[in-house]
Structure formats: C-alpha cells, structure tokens
C-alpha cells in the first residue's frame, strides 16, 4: 500500500522536475540569442559596412518590435493550441533565424533578421514562463523563476568562453549559438504539458462564484478562492472590480519590467562597447559580460532560497536601491577597468533577481492566462530590446557614461514608486482584520462592489 501511494507522488515529482528543467533550458537558450549580439556587435558592423557597434543600434529596434509582436502572438497561441507544439515552433524558428544572421550584407536585412529573432525568442520566453506558472501555482513558482533567471545568467556568462576559440568566424559563433536550442527541444520531448487554466466564459457561474477557477477542473477550490479571484459570493459586482484591479496590476508589472529588464539588457548589450570606449582595456572588455551574468546567477541562486521568507514588495525596491547605489559609487570613484568589474558584478548580484521577483509577485495575485502573461512579457521584451536602442542613442550623443547614468535614473524612479507601494501595503495590512486577504488587491472593495 505505501509503495502504491509513493509511485504516483514520485511520478508527479519527476514530471514537475522535467517541466522545470525544460523552462531552464529554454530561458538559457534565449539568453544565448541575446548575449551573442553584444559579443559580435562590432563584427556585425563590419559585415554591413558601418563604423562601429553603436552605429548599429537599429538592430535593437528591430528586435524590440519583433519581441512585442512575439509576446502577444505566443500568448494568444498558448490559449488555443497545444503548449508543446507552440514551444517547438518557436524554438526551431529561433534557431534557424539566428543561424542565418551572418548571411546578411545590409543593415535592413540585418534588422529584418533580428526582428524574426526577437519575435521567436520573446515568444519562447512567454511559453516557458507561462508553462511554469501553470505547472507551479501561486508563490511556488518563485524558486522556479529565480532558477530560470540563474539559467539565463549561467548561459550568458559561459557563452563568451565557449565562443572565444571561434572569435574570428562570425558564422561559427552564430551556428554554435543556434545549436544551443537542442537541449531545450530534447527536454521538451520528454516533458508533459501543464494543465491550461480554464477561461471564465467556459465555467458555470456557480463554479466561478465558488472560487473553482484557480483550482481548475477536477481540483477543489483553494481556501479564500472567491476573495482571491474577485468573485462576489452572492452575485455582486466585486468580480468586475477585481478583474479591473488584476488588469491594473498586470499593466503595472509590465511597466516595471520595462525598466528592470531594460537596465540589465542595456548593460549586457552595450557593456563591451562601454568598456572599449571608457577604458583602454579592449582585451578584457568582453569579460564584463561574464562578470555581469556570473554575479547575476549567484544572486538568483541566493534569491531562490530566501525569497519565500521575505516580503517581495519590500525586498524588490530595497535590493534595487542597493544595486544602483553600488554601481553609481564604483563608477564615480574611479574610471579604471577594475572598478568597472566591481560595479558590474555588484549590480548583477543585486539587480539580477529583481525580474523574477516581479513575476513571482504577479503570479501570486493574478490568474495568469497565456495572453495576460504575454502582455506582461511585452514589458520584459520592450525593456530587453527597445531600451538598449534608446540607451545606444544616448551613448552616441553624450558619451559612454550615458549608459550608467540612464540606468541609475530609471532605477531611482522604480525605487521611489515601489517603495511607496510597499509602504502603502504595510499600512493597509495593519488596518486589515486578522485572517483578511491581501490589501494590495483591494479585498474589501471586491466584496462590497466597485466604487
């Protein structure tokens, strides 16, 4: 009897483990597609006949537009088609487009290819993160998201070392990078797709009012589900109010992700050019990416252990403030390359996990459909692609220090906004009666209807 009870549990754990590793492999591959651009920017500039990497910032614009399209398209597809087929489609297409980059000979052709790379890569991120949120409900997705961010960092840190022997051949670098999609495809073949949450329109009214939406078909509704879902238990208008609040939270998370991901991606995309412009240490400039992503990986691994014990709404602005202050101080004190390594490592350690914090917060309080996750991922991909383009324009006009100053300015705005939200939430919790639900979501208003 114990052995029979143990087998299903062990099998379920194995399925969950494979799902998690599939997510890690997919995110790691997307990290490769992003990092290889920063490593080869000067070579791409020579390929299409422009002066330098900063003059090639249009590819970030093309990749950013593709990323926005990819997030929305993939979110729509995830709600309608089998998950594994969608992931396979975008994994294979991303690898093919990435391998074709060295064939471009003009700037428009390169921009078009990076539009396709951005579309398929961002779609793959949406597929991986949405599948993880479906497979690991609520706050349990936090460690998975942190580990996925660590996978991003490990891949980005190791790629410069992997490509160093092939630095003279642009085609070899992009061919090897596209081959990094193979582990994700192999794990995808072994994994089983998570259960897609049902839509509100597909559920009987009684199930929605009982809070059965979050549990899914055949699963009992969790405690306090009606409050968490914003469904008025007696047919009131609280569900409408909660739906609007969930939409507002989703859009707010997208805006926050623009700035969080934009800072990290701007550093990763321009840090090599920054090192060569600001310091006379061209040989060690490419190692700055390894310093940034290596420190980010360590920070994400540490965050996976302690984020369950901390209030993420308080931890997020505090950690971001420490990261920004450390980098600004190190850059201001001296202009040497060693200070740059300290600054980049400091920033990566503290700021690296913040993107995962934001996703964990949202998954705790909002039912993430594929399309809703796509909307959030628009913010991530706008930050990952369009923000580096804007920062490149600033660097071209005002010099290399514009990279550091623009990131610090954006982070300061985030710290003020998130710190205010954390203070408001702490005050609301003190007024909430024992056993109440999260005031950040407007629980009291959800029960008495929209104002």
- C-beta separation of 64 from 386 below 8 A: yes
Give yes or no for residue 198 having a pLDDT over 60.
Answer: no
Please choose, from the candidates 104, 95, 100, 79, the residue with its C-alpha nearest in 3D space to the C-alpha of residue 30: 95
In tens, the pLDDT along 413-424 reads 888 887 777 777
The mean pLDDT value for 159-181 works out to 88
Nearest CA-CA partner of 353 in 299, 419, 430, 290: 299
Q: How far apart are the first and last CA of the chain?
A: 55
Band of pLDDT at residue 118, cut at 50, 70 and 90: confident
What is the token pair recorded at 374?
């796509």
pLDDT of residue 444: 37
Residue 193 pLDDT class (50, 70, 90 cuts)? low
Asked if residue 224 has pLDDT above 50, the reply is no
What number is the average pLDDT over the span 100-105?
Answer: 88
pLDDT-based confidence at residue 139 (cuts at 50, 70, 90): low
Decide if 126 contacts 374 (C-beta within 8 A).
yes
Could you give all domains of the chain from N- to C-terminal order, each with its CATH number? 10-191+231-448 (1.20.1250.20)
Q: How confident is the model at residue 148 (pLDDT cuts 50, 70, 90)?
A: confident
* 219 has a pLDDT exceeding 80: no
| Residue whose tokens read 């299903």 | 8
What sign for the dihedral angle of Cα 280, 282, 283, 286? positive
Report residue 89's pLDDT band, with 50, 70 and 90 as the boundaries. Answer: very high
Is it the case that residue 81 has pLDDT exceeding 60? Answer: yes
| 378 has pLDDT over 60 | yes
In this predicted structure, the answer to whether residue 396 has a pLDDT above a threshold of 50 is yes
Mean pLDDT score across all residues of the chain: 72
Overall pTM surpassing 0.75 (yes/no): no
- Per-residue confidence (pLDDT) for residue 29, from 0 to 100: 92
Inform me whether the pLDDT recorded for 97 exceeds 90. Answer: yes
Residue 277: band (very low, low, confident or very high) from pLDDT cuts 50, 70, 90: low
Higher pLDDT, 275 or 252: 252
Q: Is 334 helix (H, G, I), strand (E, B) or coil?
A: coil
The yes-or-no verdict on residue 92 having pLDDT over 90 is yes
* pLDDT (0 to 100) of residue 336: 57
pLDDT at 46 over 50: yes
When pLDDT is averaged across residues 313-341 and rounded to a whole number, the result is 72
- Owner of token pair 């954006």: 410
- Does residue 440 carry a pLDDT above 50? no
Hey, how many other C-beta atoms are within 10 angstroms of the C-beta on 168? 8
Span 216-234, average pLDDT: 40
CA-based nearest residue to 260, from 355, 326, 346: 355
Q: Give the pLDDT band of residue 94 (cuts 50, 70, 90).
A: very high
Q: Is residue 344 scored above 60 in pLDDT?
A: yes
Two structure tokens written together for 26: 């997919």
Whether 374 contacts 227, CB under 8 Å: no
442/434 Cα distance (integer angstroms): 16
Mean local confidence (pLDDT), 162-188? 88
Residue 207 has pLDDT above 50, yes or no: no
Q: Mapped to the 3 state alphabet, what secondary structure does 92-153 carry? A: HHHHHHHHCHHHCCCHHHHHHHHHHHHHHHHHHHHHHHHHHHHHCCHHHHHHHHHHHHHHHH
Q: Report whether 344 contacts 130 (CB < 8 A).
A: no
Q: What mean pLDDT comes out for the span 164-192?
A: 88
Confidence class for position 450, pLDDT limits 50, 70, 90: very low
pLDDT top residue among 381 and 48: 48
Confidence band, pLDDT 50/70/90 cuts, at residue 373? low
Q: If you average pLDDT over each of 93-107, 267-281, 372-386, which comes out highest? A: 93-107
Give CA–CA dist 180/63, Å, rounded: 19
pLDDT higher than threshold 70 for residue 291: yes
Q: How large a percentage of the chain has pLDDT more than 90?
A: 6
Distances (CA, A) of 344 to 158, 259, 268: 16, 17, 10
């Amino acid at each position: 009897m114990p052995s029979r009870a143990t087998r299903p549990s062990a099998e379920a754990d194995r399925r969950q483990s494979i799902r998690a590793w599939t997510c890690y492999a997919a995110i790691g591959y997307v990290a490769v597609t992003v990092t290889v651009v920063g490593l080869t920017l000067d070579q791409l500039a020579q390929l299409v006949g422009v002066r330098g990497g900063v003059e090639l910032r249009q590819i970030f614009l093309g990749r950013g537009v593709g990323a926005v399209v990819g997030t929305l398209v993939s979110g729509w597809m995830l709600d309608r088609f089998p998950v594994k087929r969608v992931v396979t489609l975008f994994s294979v297409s991303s690898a093919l487009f990435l391998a074709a980059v060295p064939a471009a000979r003009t700037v428009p052709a390169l921009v078009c290819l990076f539009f396709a790379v951005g579309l398929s890569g961002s779609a793959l991120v949406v597929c991986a993160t949405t599948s993880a949120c479906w497979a690991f409900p609520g706050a349990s997705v936090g460690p998975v998201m942190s580990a996925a961010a660590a996978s991003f960092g490990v891949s980005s840190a190791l790629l410069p070392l992997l490509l160093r022997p092939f630095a003279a051949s642009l085609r070899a670098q992009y061919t090897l990078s596209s081959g990094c999609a193979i582990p994700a495809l192999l794990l995808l073949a072994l994994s089983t797709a998570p259960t897609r949450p049902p839509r509100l329109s597909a559920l009987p009214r009684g199930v929605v009012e009982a809070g059965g939406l979050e549990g899914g078909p055949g699963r009992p509704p969790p405690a306090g589900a009606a409050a968490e879902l914003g469904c008025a238990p007696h047919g009131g208008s609280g569900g409408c109010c909660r739906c609007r609040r969930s939409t507002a939270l989703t859009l707010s998370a997208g805006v926050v992700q623009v700035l969080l991901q934009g800072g990290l991606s701007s550093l990763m995309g321009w840090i090599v050019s920054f090192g060569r412009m600001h310091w006379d240490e061209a040989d060690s400039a490419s190692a700055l990416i390894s310093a940034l992503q290596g420190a980010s990986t360590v920070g994400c691994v540490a965050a996976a252990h302690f984020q369950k014990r901390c209030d993420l709404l308080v931890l997020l602005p505090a950690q971001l403030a420490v990261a920004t202050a450390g980098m600004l101080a190190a850059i201001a004190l001296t202009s040497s390359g060693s200070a740059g390594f300290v600054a980049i490592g400091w920033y990566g350690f503290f700021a690296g996990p913040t993107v995962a914090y934001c996703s964990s917060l949202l998954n705790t309080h909002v039912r993430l459909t594929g399309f809703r996750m796509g909307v959030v991922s628009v913010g991530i991909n706008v930050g990952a692609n369009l923000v580096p383009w804007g920062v490149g324009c600033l660097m071209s006009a005002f010099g290399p220090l514009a990279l550091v100053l623009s990131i610090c300015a954006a982070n300061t705005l985030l710290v003020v906004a998130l710190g205010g939200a954390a203070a408001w939430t702490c005050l609301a919790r003190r007024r909430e009666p024992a056993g109440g639900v999260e005031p950040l979501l407007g629980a009291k208003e959800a029960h008495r209807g929209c104002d």
